[in-house]
């Protein structure tokens, strides 16, 4: 997935530079220049336009796609909002996990911007961390709250949150927004607080107000590394119990998709079934994840998980028999 995102970032930058050197071009010419299909070239042009870059289709004979403002040989014609939009669109490809070519392309675009735009453009590129590995949850659309908070991250403005913790009543706090993380469709705000760095899950935010108060941001802040540490801590808390299970090889990818990082392949059993390790805080949590699989999954160890599965099974029989 990461390589696909990097390649797309390269193409979008190449497409924008092609428009600026030619003034006007067709989707077919973009397809030929970037070595993609005509449909992909059109999607790239539409993505630039949707991101706020002034790229518009021109109808009629001799039409095509044009960058409003005429032909330019550099990017200095971009406005500040357009520069932020471009880097927000390409930002995830500039992360440390990206290929060097993608990061190089964005650095070149950044150097071509006016000096006054560079800080906000760079901040937009770092505003969102994309983590495609799920925690066993289904993907979902980007929430409107992420769109509302991203400008606060870029402009460094404090945010007043009313936040409901997992087991606590909603409370209000003023935070310094440092970045957003998209983990398989579940969004988080990474922020500084009076109590130190914190991570807030957006679907638990009751209300958010972006203020005009300047937000503090450490000079050495690495948002991507902060997110990695958050994931490591959550994984540590969620993986206190590990169970070994056996499952048909063709079903293992489905189990992995549902459990995310908490399901790891562990070789093949002599009878041909796939062996895997699944983790959760308690035996009951593992059993609840596996109960719906019925006889398709066999728990080898520990015995505590088998006991919980048997108990759940007995409850189901008692509740549904007859």
Mean pLDDT computed over 51-72: 68
- Distances in Å between the Cα of 19 and the Cα atoms of 45, 57, 121, 155, 314 are 10, 12, 20, 29, 67
pLDDT score at 130: 57
Residues sharing a CB contact under 8 Å with residue 93, sequence separation 6 or more, in sequence order: 5, 6, 8, 9, 10, 102, 103, 106
61-71 per-position pLDDT tens digit: 656 888 765 43
Contact 308, 284 (CB under 8 A): yes
pLDDT surpasses 70 at 321:
yes
Residues sharing a CB contact under 8 Å with residue 236, sequence separation 6 or more, in sequence order: none
3-state secondary structure of 137: coil
DSSP β-bridge partners for residue 150: none
pLDDT score at 118: 57
- Distances in Å between the Cα of 67 and the Cα atoms of 23, 73, 91, 302 are 6, 12, 21, 63
d(CA 148, CA 209): 9
DSSP β-bridge partners for residue 181: 129, 188
Contact 155, 211 (CB under 8 A): no
pLDDT score at 90: 57
- Distances in Å between the Cα of 12 and the Cα atoms of 28, 48, 121, 258 are 15, 7, 16, 33
pLDDT score at 244: 95
Angle (CA) 186-190-192 rounded to 5° is 155
Tell me the two tokens of residue 26.
Answer: 């067709």
159-181 per-position pLDDT tens digit: 999 998 776 788 899 999 998 88
- Which pairing describes strands 171-183 and 128-131: parallel, antiparallel, or unpaired? parallel
Tell me the domains of the chain and their CATH numbers.
Answer: 2-126 (1.10.10), 144-224 (2.30.30.520), 239-320 (3.30.70)
Contact 207, 243 (CB under 8 A): no
Mean pLDDT computed over 216-220: 88
Residues sharing a CB contact under 8 Å with residue 308, sequence separation 6 or more, in sequence order: 283, 284, 286, 287
pLDDT surpasses 70 at 190:
yes
Put simply, whether the predicted model's pTM sits higher than 0.75 gets the answer no
Q: Comparing 60 with 314, which gets the higher pLDDT?
A: 314
pLDDT score at 115: 57
Identify the DSSP state of 68.
T
Most confident of 21-25, 30-34, 137-141, 235-239: 30-34
Mean pLDDT computed over 136-159: 80
Tell me the two tokens of residue 318.
Answer: 């008692």
pLDDT band for position 241 (cuts 50, 70, 90):
confident
pLDDT surpasses 80 at 104:
no
Nearest to residue 315, comparing CAs of 296, 287, 282, 280? 287
pLDDT score at 143: 84
Backbone angles phi, psi at 186, to 5 degrees: -100, 125
> Which of the residue ranges 18-22, 68-72, 201-205, 290-294 would you say has the lowest mean pLDDT?
68-72
Mean pLDDT computed over 52-64: 71
pLDDT score at 3: 43
pLDDT score at 1: 46
266-317 per-position pLDDT tens digit: 999 999 999 999 988 889 989 998 998 999 999 999 999 999 999 999 998 8
Mean pLDDT of the chain: 78
């Amino acid at each position: 997935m990461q390589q696909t995102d990097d390649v797309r970032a390269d193409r979008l930058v190449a497409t924008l530079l092609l428009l600026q050197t030619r003034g006007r071009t067709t989707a077919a010419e973009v397809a030929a220049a970037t070595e993609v299909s005509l449909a992909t070239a059109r999607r790239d042009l539409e993505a630039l336009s949707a991101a706020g870059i002034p790229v518009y289709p021109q109808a009629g004979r001799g039409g095509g796609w044009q960058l409003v403002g005429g032909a330019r040989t550099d990017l200095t014609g971009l406005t500040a909002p357009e520069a932020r939009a471009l880097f927000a669109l390409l930002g995830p490809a500039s992360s440390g996990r990206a290929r060097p070519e993608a990061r190089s392309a964005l650095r070149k675009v950044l150097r071509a911007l006016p000096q006054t735009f560079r800080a906000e453009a760079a901040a937009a590129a770092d505003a969102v961390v994309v983590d495609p590995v799920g925690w066993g949850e289904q993907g979902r659309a980007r929430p409107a709250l992420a769109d509302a908070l991203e400008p606060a991250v870029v402009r460094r403005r404090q945010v007043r949150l009313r936040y409901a913790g997992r087991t606590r009543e909603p409370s209000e706090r003023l935070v310094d927004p440092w970045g957003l993380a998209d983990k398989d469709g579940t969004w988080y705000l990474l922020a500084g607080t009076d109590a130190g760095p914190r991570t807030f899950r957006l679907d638990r935010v009751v209300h958010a107000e972006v203020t005009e108060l300047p937000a503090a941001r450490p000079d050495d802040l690495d948002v991507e590394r902060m997110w990695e540490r958050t994931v490591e801590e959550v994984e540590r808390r969620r993986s206190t119990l590990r169970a070994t299970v056996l499952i048909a090889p063709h079903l293992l990818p489905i189990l992995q998709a549902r459990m995310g990082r908490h399901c790891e392949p562990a070789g093949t059993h002599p009878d041909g079934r796939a062996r895997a390790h699944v983790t959760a805080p308690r035996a009951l949590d593992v059993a609840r994840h596996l109960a719906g699989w019925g006889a398709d999954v066999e728990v080898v160890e520990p015995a505590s998980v088998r006991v919980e599965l048997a108990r759940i099974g007995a409850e189901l029989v008692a509740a549904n028999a007859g």
